[in-house]
Amino acid sequence: MSNRYVEMGLSAPVNLTWEVSLACNLRCSHCLSSSGEPAEGELSTAEALDLVEQLHSGGVFQVNFGGGEPFLRPDFEEILAACHARGIMTCISTNGTLIGPERVARLAESRLVAIQVSMDGARRETCDAIRGKGVYDKAIEAIKLLAASSIPTSINTVLTAQNAGEIPAMHELARSLGVSLRVSRFRPSGRGADNWDDLRPTPAQLLAFSDWLARSGDVRTGDSFFSLTSQERQGLGLNLCGAAKLTCCVGPTGNMYPCAFLQTDRFKAGSLRDNTFKEIWDDSEIYASFRSLRIHSCEECQRFDQCHGGCPAVAWHLKNDINGGDPECLERCVTSIADEARTAKAA
């Protein structure tokens, strides 16, 4: 699919993220949504099932479920079953603590579900420092149960300053468990914004990760690292922001946003309680602005074809400007390290 076609916006998103609830039994320090208690006014079961019908009629191929912890929503498996009955692929992002043999058996009845279990370190100490004491062991137990089933399973790791050196070991751990590895980018939204300075990878760590990623073709990132990806890996993923073009986000109360990292009033595209999914996708001014977004300040960069300005969400959270280019792109990482070296030498 050409960039030109993507930039025009599709008749429906290929996939979307649906944050079904803010309820969570953990308090991870990098959480993009500050999850904990359910949001006030979350979609009812009837509203959620109606949305599934709208997604099906609109031609949405896949729904990525997140939260919060999706399995804390009492009707979540009913929502899943409705998706599967209509041929919609689903991927569930879970912390793994509520995964048991009976649940795995039920989920395995469908061939349309995949699961990614969040872990943030190859060592128990590293993971538990971010996610909570005992979570590492519970996640491992869940992954073993899932790996023994027919459900495609992956480990999802958010790259932070604390675990950057353990990513190769995470890769080996995933292989040893019979699952794949996905590495997600840490962005300063939700609780992650509160802990940004402590968890943010350094430019040197980002560059080292990019180099390692180029040698690890079976590690997935989605489009999370398009602005950090080496040229050798360019063909393996989307090289521009897909928000409002290929994907979007539905929040727990039915508000729609460009992506999960921009769930703020500033970027609210509409409410499913006021308009249909298709009306918001087709007519939202917020979505139109993302479809026409061009990062002109980056156009002269030698890497522009690899990232097209990078992630607008990071640019917004760090610079209050979606038009300013990704502050953590590889070129800026290289420049930052060079500036630090010059400063140290001058001192």
> pLDDT for 101-137, tens place per residue?
999 999 999 999 999 999 999 999 999 999 999 999 9
- Distance (Å) of CA 164 to CA 118, 154, 202: 15, 18, 9
| pTM of structure | 0.91
pLDDT given for residue 345 in this prediction: 75
Q: Write the pLDDT tens digit of every residue in 216-237.
A: 878 888 654 545 555 555 554 5
C-alpha pair distances (Å), 199 with each of 163, 262, 305, 316, 347: 9, 19, 29, 18, 28
Confidence check: pLDDT of 56 > 90: yes
User: DSSP letter at 160?
Assistant: -
* Band of pLDDT at residue 9, cut at 50, 70 and 90: low
| Cβ proximity of 52 and 79 under 8 Å | yes
Token pair 């699961």: residue = 115
Decide: helix, strand or coil at residue 181: strand
Average pLDDT over residues 197-224: 85
Amino acid at residue number 72? L
By the 10 Å C-beta count (0-12 exposed, 13-18 middle, 19+ buried), 285 is classed as exposed
Q: What is the structure's pLDDT at 337?
A: 86
If you average pLDDT over residues 59-82, what whole number do you get?
A: 97
CB 269 within 8 Å of CB 248: yes
Residue 25's pLDDT band, with cuts at 50, 70 and 90, is very high
Q: Hunting for tokens 């560059």 — which residue is that?
A: 207
Residue 16: both structure tokens together = 């979307």
Least reliable range by pLDDT among 39-43, 146-150, 324-328: 324-328
> 58 with 277: CB under 8 angstroms?
yes
Alpha helices in the chain (DSSP H): 3-8, 45-58, 76-85, 101-107, 124-131, 135-147, 167-177, 191-194, 196-199, 203-214, 277-283, 285-291, 304-307, 312-319, 330-346
pLDDT tens for each residue of 315-343? 999 999 888 888 888 788 888 888 777 88
Is residue 39 over pLDDT 50? yes
Residue 272 scores a pLDDT above 90:
yes
Predicted confidence at residue 49, as pLDDT, reads 98
User: Do you know the residue count of the chain?
Assistant: 347
Cβ 259 vs Cβ 248: under 8 Å: yes
The pLDDT mean for the chain works out to 90
- Tell me the CA distances in angstroms from 323 to 298, 302, 317, 345, one per residue in order: 10, 18, 12, 34
Has residue 1 got a pLDDT over 50?
no
DSSP H or E run through 15: strand 15-19
Q: Could you tell me the pLDDT band of residue 301, with boundaries at 50, 70 and 90?
A: confident
